[in-house]
Amino acid sequence: MTVLALDFETANERRDSACAVGLAWIADGRIVRRESHLIRPPEMRFAPGNIRVHGILPSNVVDAPDFAGAMAPYLDDLAGGLILAHNASFDIGVLRAGLARAGLPVPDLAYLCTVQVARRVFPAPEGCGLGKVARRLGIRFEHHDAGEDAYACAAIALAAMRETETPDVHRLAAAIGVPIARVAGGPPHPHRIPGAISGRALAAFSAAPAALSFAMRGSTGNRYDVVLEERAGGPQLRCTCRAGRFGMRCRHVKALEIGDISDLLSDNATDVALLARMLGARARVA
């Protein structure tokens, strides 16, 4: 089975706004291939915060292929293999959203999150973000370049295999008790009209304030709790950190809003993906 690491950069907060992709293939205990490409997103709307992270400008992608064109050579490997991603809920979400926006069928996917792998094999009080783990392991790369990030993700998986003396990624996952996640695909469907929310999403959203809470690691290793609460203007995230107590959108809240689980301490990464989808749906309605 093909094993490859995947990383996306996005133009804005939407999962279907990929502007770059990186991939790195693993075979025989080493990285055997690397690819990276710019992508022209469906809407040329680049958020300043995203540009500050990855440095990609609209002018850089104006002549780049769209999502379908950029990803076409790799879909067989992605559909038939095991995908590695650091904070996998984000990258798998971008892949699925990009395919759906392009009107392409979304394949069944199997993936392993290397954030979860690193927490089991290379735990540290500072957390297991990609840059932090790579620094601890001596992996040199240019962070937030999609190709470089995919390489670092693959290198972390290989380091974990060596540390646990497991011969491949599947047996690594079994040895450390991190299950390989699987998501079912589906046929192509028309792009949803902005603002439209399914009844299922609305039902989940209405129940969410009483159910969704997250434990997050602070920059000094402290634990903070983030809870989705019902407010006058609609459900909002509230954090127990100092900034959150003063009513500010702290970095823990901002991370959860985009599906970033790098500093998640609680064992509910799937709830983070649900939260990001629901908040995105609410934003489109507003």
What is residue 192's predicted lDDT score, i.e. its pLDDT? 44
Residue 76 reports pLDDT greater than 50: yes
CATH code of the domain covering residue 7: 3.30.420.10
Q: Once rounded to an integer, what is the mean pLDDT over residues 259-268? A: 80
Percent of all residues in the chain with a pLDDT value above 90, rounded to a whole number = 62
pLDDT at residue 98 greater than cutoff 90: yes
pLDDT bin (cut points 50, 70, 90) of residue 246 is: confident
Residues 92, 85: contact at Cβ < 8 Å? yes
Same domain, 101 and 224: no
Give the strand order in the sheet containing 223-231: 213-217, 223-231, 234-239
- Cα dihedral angle (13, 15, 18, 23), rounded to 10 degrees? 120
Question: What percent of the chain shows pLDDT beyond 70?
Answer: 86
Residue 134 lies inside a defined structural domain of this protein: yes
Residues 6+ apart with CB under 8 A from 281: 197, 201, 205
Question: Taking all residues of the chain, what is their mean pLDDT, rounded to a whole number?
Answer: 87
Asked if residue 192 belongs to a domain, the reply is no
CA geometry: angle 252, 247, 254, nearest 5 deg: 25
Taking 90 as the threshold, does the pLDDT of residue 198 lie above it?
no
Residue 199 is predicted with a pLDDT of 43
Q: Which residue has the higher pLDDT, 39 or 43?
A: 39
Question: Does 98 fall in a domain?
Answer: yes
On the CB side of 259, CA atoms within 13 Å amount to 21
Segment 55-64 shows an average pLDDT of 95
| Amino acid 281: pLDDT | 53
188 lies in some domain: no
112 & 210 share domain: no
Q: What is the pLDDT of residue 18?
A: 97
Based on the fold, state whether residues 142 and 67 are members of the same structural domain.
yes
The string of pLDDT tens digits covering residues 136-183 is 999 999 999 999 999 999 999 999 999 999 999 999 999 999 999 998
Q: Give this prediction's pTM.
A: 0.70
pLDDT band at 284 (very low <50, low <70, confident <90, very high): very low
- Final residue of a structural domain among 126, 148, 183: 183
Residue 190 domain-assigned (yes or no)? no
In this prediction, residues 187-202 reach a mean pLDDT of 46
Shared domain check, 56 and 106? yes
Average pLDDT in the 14-31 region?
96
Place of tokens 């290397």: 114
Q: Which domain holds residue 240?
A: 199-285
